[in-house]
Chains A and B, each alone.
Chain A
Amino acid sequence: MVIPLIDPEASETQTLDEIREWHKGIVEAIVTQRGSVTAAILNGSVVAQRFVGMTQTDIDDYFDNLRRELDRLTVLSLVASGEAAITIDYYRRVRGKLKDTLASAYRKWHKSLPRKKQLRPDFDQGGILEVMKRARIMDKNIIGRYRQCLRPRHWVGHGRFWQKPAEVDQFDLDEIYDRISALLNAIPK
């Protein structure tokens, strides 16, 4: 059985809260800059050259776009952080020979995989999430609700070349955060 080594020293995983703090910081910077550019209309103060010639509507469109992009990239980071946490936990259970239901299910499935897949197992359909669901260690709706977050994540992460999934506009960051947290918290320690 092949289990890839994950070096915690070399990785740069982020927690959901770290990502949320980063998002808050950038939002504050955007709000501050929007304020100073808007004020430049009133008092003629100097701002970055890219803003020269903008009307209030242009400013609003520009900063609304920035904010929308930030939120989309933050969704990508949050969902990817959840994927990383689930995958790290998966290898921990497979390697550690733990006795709990989830570990047994993971190990059994891992052994059945071809060598290549053992190094990089599928995550969603026919993958780790499917095994987790079959192990019945949590309400299956928690997994289903997390899976819906993968659609906006994939759309952003793979270059948005297909039609925008409805979830991109339906889910705000708090919703995404709550769904991922619910899943991570439901995984037995």
Chain B
Amino acid sequence: MNPNLADLFQKKRKQAAGFSVDWDDRRNKYVKAVENLYDQIDTMLAEPIEQKTVTIQRRQKQLTENHIGTYAVPDLILLIGDEQVRFSPRGGNIVGAAGRIDVIGERAEAMMILNRDAEWGFVQSRQPKVNIAPFDESTFAEVLKLVMRA
């Protein structure tokens, strides 16, 4: 290897040594938080699932992020009437958050972010000020109404 290139890589490695992130831990916490959210949704929807008004599926997919690499995390699919709502994890390397899931309906999309205390919230607005509502049954219903066809 060209000595200049080798020197550059060594220098950058030393600089990075002062600041280390446990990427495996970050990935594991994010995947766990995703699973926890899906479990909460399962619980919230237990009755309609029992009544067969909602069908719920988990579909494994691969996510690739800088530093973390490629890992498996599931999408959560809700089939409600003739519509689908998909909870799609976007990763744990997120600005101002510890993770993100997009909620993709047939009318609109919404964003959920994970705070540093491992709590999920819906992003209600981003401008002029970020407004995040904690995830609970009430906000869950609001988001479903937002992303699904009227």
Contacts and interface: CB of A to CB of B under 8 A. Distances in A.
A53 B19 contact: no
Interface string B110-150: 01010010000001001111100000000000000000000
A4 interface: no
Contacts of A43: 19, 21
Contact of B93 (A41, A46, A52): A41
B91 interface: yes
A54 B127 CA distance: 14
B106 interface: no
Residues of A contacting B: mostly: helix
B94 interface: yes
A37 B19 contact: no
B56 interface: no
A43 B116 CA distance: 12
Contacts of A56: 65-66, 91, 93
**In the complex, which range does the number of interface residues on chain A fall in?**
10 to 19
A46 B95 CA distance: 9
B100 A55 contact: yes
Nearest to B112: A53
Contacts of A41: 93-95
A56 B91 CA distance: 9
Interface residues of B, number: 22
Contacts of B129: 49
Contact of B126 (A44, A46, A52, A55): A52
A38 to B, nearest CB: 9
A47 interface: yes
Interface string B76-103: 0000000000000011011111001000
A55 to B, nearest CB: 5
A50 interface: yes
B19 A55 contact: no
Contacts of B65: 55-56
Contact of B94 (A46, A49, A54): A54
Contact of A54 (B19, B67, B95, B116): B95
A97 to B, nearest CB: 58
A49 B130 CA distance: 6
Interface of B: 19, 21, 65-67, 90-91, 93-97, 100, 111, 113, 116, 123, 126-130
20 contacts: A37-B95, A40-B96, A41-B94, A42-B67, A42-B93, A49-B129, A49-B130, A51-B96, A52-B95, A52-B97, A53-B97, A53-B123, A53-B130, A54-B94, A54-B95, A55-B65, A55-B90, A55-B91, A55-B100, A59-B95
Interface of A: 37, 40-44, 46-47, 49-56, 59
